[in-house]
Structure 1
Amino acid sequence: MSSIGSSILTSLGAGSGIDTASLVSSLVSATREPRQTAITSNQTLNSSRISALASAISSLDTFADALSEVLSTSAYTGTPNSNDTSIASVSLLSGGTPTGLPAQLTVEQLATARVLSSSTVTGATSSTAVGTGTLTITTASGTKTITIDSTNNSYAGLASAINASNSGVTARVVTDSQGTRLVFKGETGADNDFSISTSADDGGNVLAGLGWSGTDSSTMTSSSAPQNAKITLDGVAYEYADNSIDDAIPYLRIDLNKASPGTTVNLTMTQPTSGLADLLKEFVDAYNTLMKALNTATAAGTDSSTSGVLNGVSGVRDMKKQLSALTSTELSSTGTYKTLADIGVGTNRDGTLTLDTDRLAQALESDPEGVTNMVNPQGSGSTATGLSKLMDSVRDNIEKDDGPIKLAQERYDKLADDYTDQLSKLDDQMTNYEEHLTKVYAAMETRLSALKATQSYLQQQIDAWNNSSDN
């Protein structure tokens, strides 16, 4: 009996004690760790995919936006030129590229304005009184009446009031060694003549003498008459009221600087061939940086530890497929050169691009205007798509709400929430499991204590029997 009781006690750990807290902790850990490891491993991969997709989209946006910004500068739209800027100079207007160049321009006559001068008053200054009353200016667009009172009764006050009236006539005070006078100037153009009438309240000699209705007087004289600018453009005669002409050639401003009848000014457009060559090199380099990053992210590898984080993600495969079509997509529906492939941009087996600089140089030399229009068309009337617009279209299609990339992002965002919920549920389950084990082992200790009490009683009885038998 003694040996049997000792065996039971030894197997139960009686006498040495059972560390139930440590035992429960070990059992909970053994149950938790494999499940938690699996969840956190999936969670880490999912987080990496979310980050990699966001990075891919950000890189695509940066690439497309940078391309649009660069192509909007004058370095890639061409530069207008005049071979004699002393006669006429040219500059680009926004919204498109000039058409119809080169052109031959002759400036027959500049546009001028009516200029009137009042008589000089010896000893007067800008603050000298001119008298009170009214001054009325009449132009082709209407009449403006200006009141002269104590607040503006001076040369300077009158000039300021005229300039603030928006009558189409400006005034300035001129003071020199002979004295002070007013100079009036209208707008350029034959239809922009003007007249002045006055009504002096106090008989002021200066104000009363400022009237002019087409005839010079002792107090008001004209030094310039209004006339239109006259030009010929490619042999066709034109007249304009201003010396800055915006509508003779689309998207080109012509500033007339002096008349020179009989002199031909050549207006041309220099195509941005060197700029486009550099741009396409940078485009290929930037594109390859993006594509190599996508290739790394989608690499198959030999197992999960060596494959790319986006391997098998259909949205990224679709993204690469759409990007790879850039070189073969028509940028222009007309002309010799219609695609990037036509001017030397080819696609390698891994999806990266290569640039045949000799072929590009030949295309730029053969048809610089056609290549420029294909890559960077200007104006709403152009039929060409252009590289920037194509890139924006591809980007928009890749990032559309119901596209593979967005659906993949939504799926991985949902998985992130699911993995967080799984970890939370695992915590709850392990807490319940720990409570259950604790109760089980607490009950076991209670039973063990009862068993020990029974064992002690039996041991006493056995000892008593042994003592009795000995006697």
Structure 2
Amino acid sequence: MATVNGTASSQAAYSYLQYKNKIGGLVSGMDIDSIMEKLMKAESSQMEKLQQQKQKYEWKRDAYREVNTSLTTFQQGIFDSYGKQSSWNTKTVANTGSDKVTATATSSAAGKLEITSATLATSGTVQNTLANTYSSTQKLADFGIASTAGKFAFSINGEDKVVEYSKDDTVDSLVSKLNSAGANAQVEKGQLVIRADIKVSDASYSKTFANKLGFSLESDGKLTKDSIGQAVSSQTLVTTEISSSNLKSTSKLSELGLTNGTFKLVGLNETGTDFIEKEITFKETDTVESLLTKINSSGAGVTAVMSGNKISLTSNTAGAGIDGKVMGVTEDNQGVFKKLGFFSNEGSNTGAFATTGAKNGSLTVNGMTIEQSSNTYNVAGYKLEITKAIDAGSSINITSSSDVDKTIDKVKEFIDTYNGLIKDLNTKTSEKRNVDYSPLTDAQKAEMTDAEITKWEEKAKAGLLKGDSNINSALSSMRTALSQYGGKTGDTLASLGITTSKAYTDNGKLEVDEDKLRKALEKDPDAVTRIFTGDTSTGEEGIVSKLRTAAQNAVKNIEVSAGKATSTSEKSYSLGRTISDLTSKIDDWKDRLKDIEERYWKQFSAMETAIQKANSQSSIFAQ
């Protein structure tokens, strides 16, 4: 209800004007405010009836949605808890005590398994191999050269030479010193090339110096020659500022000569039967660590780990792979994995990684050998997880038996869940209406405390869904699904000792005869699974599936009337359309009442003015 300046009070509850010139009745001596309140209250009675109707429909809509919440929770919960065959897997496993195999039994497990040997499947791993590469601006100290005043003694064509160096020299400054000594050294095709017949002197420090630079020495002290005649080369130089031997997790990819780009990584799927290819995008500002994180989260089935400057790639799936291949790279235009040391500098940027350790596992059970990539085997309804290798000639026996007590407890759980739902729904359809408690008007609320309003509305909301056809139809469908199930096959709830209560006041609650249920399970342990989850031999759905369908249909029917909690338009469901129509009528009434109130105020104003004028004229004659 509209109020003056938004204030709810007994004197302003029936005012619809935001601004008006009030006449206090000083001239006439009348209590105009009180008179106006009574007049507008009478004029507002029709609109208040519309507001009360709207409130009832809103309450009914909300009550319907509460029912749908209960039905949705029920149908989802019973399927997850009782609608799958695994839900009724109450079998226990007997193992001869070996800690090398963990065995669980599904509901279909039967018979005895004897395991006589097993080998573990292992994952393939590849580790990068980094050359002792360096940049031309890198200091000699980075190669482990610690001397501040060292000497490199050698001979060129029989002439003795000495080059003095310091750990602070760079590769470039060393080349200059070698050239000054006549060694004809230069960086060529990424290699340090010396075109001279050099023989290192016997001094051990000179040999160590040559080795640290990557040169190999012959027995007579000569540097090893390569195919370029007299040219002798050391390890490859790179044009970046980082030494691969000093690769760190914090190194940026730009330091490896990489720019923004992508590559495609391939690994095995979870079963090891196919490859997964994932494209990974990287930026030059990424670090090696963040690149490895992208590999691990890519879903390619590969895990990258870094320790020091070493990186290992391991397949997430154990086994020998496909045609001996476990993981690799299909596209890598910038040679990311070559720069990280997984491919040689002379080789291709792509291909399968040369992994080690990848092999399938094997299990010999009941005289039959099974080989596969996983260490988990499914045999005759048993799930066997091999945790350690089992030596040939062993004898590990696996058997199973049904746990009748667990099954009974599970059945009782289901009955409690079902009975809880129908009790709630039956309460709503049988709840008595309180005809003496209508929705409160704004004026009535203005004169009550919050506690009084809450208590009143609890009574006013009672019985809104009394006798509701949608809910009664849902209850009837569920009762039918339970009572008629298995009539042709004999797989009925009654055969398990589960029946409907004969008490009329129980409204279809289920009861269980535990003794009968126990005997039925001892005779046929799979009966509960068939009845609740369905019979695979006949294709008939189980009672859980039928109950779920009944609940889902009820939800859909109720949504036609009450919509969803997420509905954005009241026009999309029947109660919403009614509420919308009433809202429009109420708004029209408010506009009409504003005009009526304004007219009354004008009339009272005119009356006060006329009385004042008459009083003035009387005073003139009195003089």
- TM-score tier by shorter-chain length is 0.5 to 0.7
Shift of 1:286: 2.8
Q: How much does 1:393 deviate?
A: 2.3
User: Does the 8 Å CA contact 2:360/2:373 hold for their aligned counterparts?
Assistant: no
| Matches of 2:618 and 2:495, distance apart in 1 | 95
Q: Distance in 1 between matches of 2:35 and 2:361?
A: 105
Alignment of 1:138-177 (within 5 A): 164=313
Contact kept, 8 Å, 2:102 with 2:385, in 1: the verdict is yes
Can you list the C-alpha shifts for 1:222-251, whole angstroms capped at 9, x where unaligned?
xxxx99857353xx6445367946254356
Aligned-residue identity in percent: 20
Q: Distance in 1 between matches of 2:104 and 2:215?
A: 48
Corresponding residue of 1:428:
591
Paired with 2:531 and 2:468, the residues of 1 have a C-alpha distance of: 34
Q: Tell me the amino acid that sits aligned with residue 86 of structure 1.
A: S
Report the CA distance shift for 1:325/1:418 in structure 2 as closer, same or farther (over 3 A). Answer: same
Q: Residue 336 of structure 1: CA displacement?
A: 4.3
In the other structure, the counterpart of 1:301 is 432
Change (3 A) 1:442 1:340: farther
What is the alpha-carbon distance in structure 2 between the residues aligned to residue 105 and residue 16 of structure 1?
Answer: 110
Is 1:62 matched up with 2:225? no
Q: How big is each residue's C-alpha offset from its partner over 1:52-105, in whole Å with a ceiling of 9 and x where there is no partner?
A: 212211122222333334346967323462442439745359xxx464611343
Summarize deviations over 1:105-158 as a string: whole Å, max 9, x none: 352x444899xxxxxxxxxxxxxx9x999xxxxxxxxxxxxxx99959xxxx9x
CA deviations over 1:199-242 (Å, ceiling 9, x no partner): xxxxxxxxxxxxxxxxxxxxxxxxxxx99857353xx6445367
- State the distance in 2 between where 1:262 and 1:288 align: 52
Match of 2:516 among 348, 354, 359: 359
Structure 1 contact 277–360 (Cα < 8 Å) conserved: yes
Distance 1:245 1:299, change over 3 A: closer
Q: Are 2:570 and 1:438 equivalent residues in the alignment?
A: no
- Deviation of the 1:452 alpha carbon: 8.0
TM-superposition CA deviations, 1:371-401 (whole Å, max 9, x none): 13432469x999453454334323322222x
Aligned counterparts of 2:432 and 2:314: Cα–Cα separation in 1: 79
- Contact kept? 1:276, 1:372, Cα under 8 Å: no
The one-letter code of the counterpart of 1:430 is: L
CA 1:404/1:57 → structure 2, altered by over 3 Å: closer, same or farther? closer
User: Residue 309 of structure 1: SS of its match in structure 2?
Assistant: coil
Distance change >3 Å, CA 392–CA 265, structure 1 → 2 = same
Partner in structure 1 of residue 38 of structure 2: 26
Counterpart amino acid of residue 91 in structure 1 = A
- 1:105 pairs, out of 114, 124, 133, with 114
Task: Could you tell me which runs of 5 or more consecutive residues in structure 2 were left unpaired when the two chains were aligned.
Answer: 1-24, 123-210, 217-234, 237-243, 247-305, 325-358, 437-458, 564-572
Cα displacement string for residues 290-342 of structure 1 (whole angstroms, at most 9, x for unaligned residues)? 22222222226376358612124332222222333342253x79964244775
1-side partners of 2:121 and 2:470: how far apart? 66
- Which residues of 2 match residues 74-85 of structure 1 at below 5 A? 76-79=88-91, 81-85=93-97
Using the alignment, how far apart are the partners of 2:94 and 2:517 within structure 1? 28
Please name the residue that 1:118 is paired with: none
Alignment correspondent of 1:316: 471
How many Å separate the matches in 1 of 2:42 and 2:584? 21
CA 272–69 in structure 1, closer or farther in 2 if over 3 Å, else same: farther
More helix per residue: 1
CA 1:377–1:16: 2 relative to 1, 3 Å = closer
Paired AA for residue 309 in structure 1: L
In structure 2, the residue corresponding to 1:392 is in which secondary structure? helix
Corresponding residue number in structure 1 for 2:103? 91
The CA distance in 1 between the partners of 2:428 and 2:495, in whole Å, is 27
Amino acid in structure 2 at the alignment position of 1:385: E
Instruction: Quote how far apart the aligned CAs of 1:352 are.
Output: 2.7
**2:79 corresponds to which letter in structure 1?**
S
Specify the code of the residue in structure 1 equivalent to 2:509. Answer: T
CA distance in 2, matches of 1:111, 1:302: 72
How many residues align? The count is 347
Structure 1: stretches of 5+ with no match in the other structure: 1-12, 115-128, 134-147, 170-185, 193-225, 461-471
- Partners of 2:574 and 2:314 in 1: CA distance: 66
CA distance in 2, matches of 1:340, 1:39: 52
Residues 181-260 of structure 1 correspond to what in structure 2 (within 5 A)?
229=362, 231=364, 233=366, 237-240=368-371, 244=375, 246-249=377-380, 252-253=383-384, 255=386, 258-259=390-391
Pair 1:356–1:49, CA change in 2 (3 A) = farther
Matched, 1:290 2:421: yes
The whole-number CA distance in structure 2 between the counterparts of 1:92 and 1:377 is 22
Task: Name the TM-score, length of structure 1 as normaliser.
Answer: 0.57
Aligned pairs for 1:38-49 (under 5 A) are: 38-49=49-60
Report the Cα distance in structure 2 between the residues aligned to 1:80 and 1:387, rounded to whole angstroms.
Answer: 25
Deviation at 1:437, TM superposition (A): 2.5
Q: Within 1, Cα distance between the matches of 2:541 and 2:215?
A: 65
What secondary structure does 1:429 align onto? helix
Which range is displaced more, 72-81 or 319-328? 72-81
**Quick one: structure 1 residues 64 and 251, their matched pair in 2 at CA, closer, same or farther if it must change by over 3 Å?**
farther
SS where residue 577 of structure 2 aligns? helix
For the Cα contact (< 8 Å) 1:88–1:257, is it kept in 2? Answer: yes
Q: Does 1:417 align with 2:580?
A: yes
In structure 1, the residue matched to 2:560 is 406
Deviation at 1:419, TM superposition (A): 3.7
Q: 1:106 to 1:300 in 2, by over 3 A?
A: closer
Query: Which of 396, 399, 407 matches 1:267?
Result: 399
Q: In 2, Cα distance between the equivalents of 1:88 and 1:311?
A: 62
CA deviation digits over 1:22-41, x for unaligned, max 9? 43332111221x32442333
Give the conservation status (yes or no) of the 8 Å contact 1:335–1:370: no
Hey, what's the Cα distance between the residues in 1 that align with 2:433 and 2:370? Answer: 77
Relative to structure 1, the CA distance from residue 456 to residue 43 in structure 2 (aligned partners, 3 Å threshold; closer, same or farther) is same
Aligned residue type for 1:28: M
Aligned-partner Cα distance in 1 for 2:121–2:496: 54
Give, in angstroms, the shift of residue 351 of structure 1: 3.1
Distance apart, 1:49 and its partner CA:
1.5
TM-score by length of 2: 0.45
Provide the rounded CA distance (Å) in 1 between the counterparts of 2:415 and 2:89: 20
